[in-house]
Amino acid sequence: MPDLFAYTDGACSGNPGPGGWGALLIARDGETVLKERELFGGEPETTNNRMELLAAINALETLDKPSTITVVTDSAYVKDGITKWVHGWKRNGWTKKGGLKNAELWQRLDAAAARHRVTWEWVKGHAGHPENERADELARRGMAPFKPGGVGHDPAQVIG
């Protein structure tokens, strides 16, 4: 059975501002890449944290059947949120003192992750990790139509 990975990233020009998310899904047998899929999209007015969340959400939601997958993110916000903080938020009715930002996205990520056996890994961003750099490029592609002078727009473009 091949190993499945999702490399995810978000980008924002200004925070808030135009933003994009990207996900690179790779099925590997050892070092051999069996299949790749690129996903990206964006929004005209958003935050980097929202884009990081949407990258992981879209990666998991695009899988047709329950899978064992490693999600690799450069966002400590996403990794810590889904592996540590989410349990308390759920216990408290998806709230926290001072308000829970992006509650609807955290609920969506929690539901998407529940369908799968997910291992979450963090990598340092912009540190030369090839797949993370590709996810960053996809996020920037998703953001491009929303930046001044951007051309064309498909809010959730999927490249198969």
Domains in the chain: boundaries: 3-159
pTM of the predicted structure, to 2 decimals = 0.92
User: Among residues 10, 19, 41, 142, which one is catalytic?
Assistant: 10
User: Among residues 41, 42, 43, 52, which one is catalytic?
Assistant: 52
* Mean pLDDT in residue range 68-87: 97
pLDDT tops 70 at residue 34: yes
Comparing C-alpha atoms, which of 143, 140, 107, 131 is closest to residue 27? 131
CATH of domain 3-159: 3.30.420.10
User: Among residues 88, 126, 153, 154, which one is catalytic?
Assistant: 126
Instruction: Tell me the pLDDT of the chain averaged across its residues.
Output: 93
pLDDT for the residue 151: 62
pLDDT for the residue 149: 77
User: Among residues 9, 20, 42, 142, which one is catalytic?
Assistant: 9
For the question of residue 43 being annotated catalytic, the response is no
For the question of residue 52 being annotated catalytic, the response is yes
Q: Is 159 helix (H, G, I), strand (E, B) or coil?
A: strand
Q: What is the pLDDT of residues 83-110, one digit of tens each?
A: 999 999 999 999 888 889 999 999 999 9
For the question of residue 126 being annotated catalytic, the response is yes
For the question of residue 87 being annotated catalytic, the response is no
pLDDT for the residue 113: 98
- Chain mean position to CA 36: 16
Helices 48-61 and 130-143, axial angle in degrees (round to 10): 110
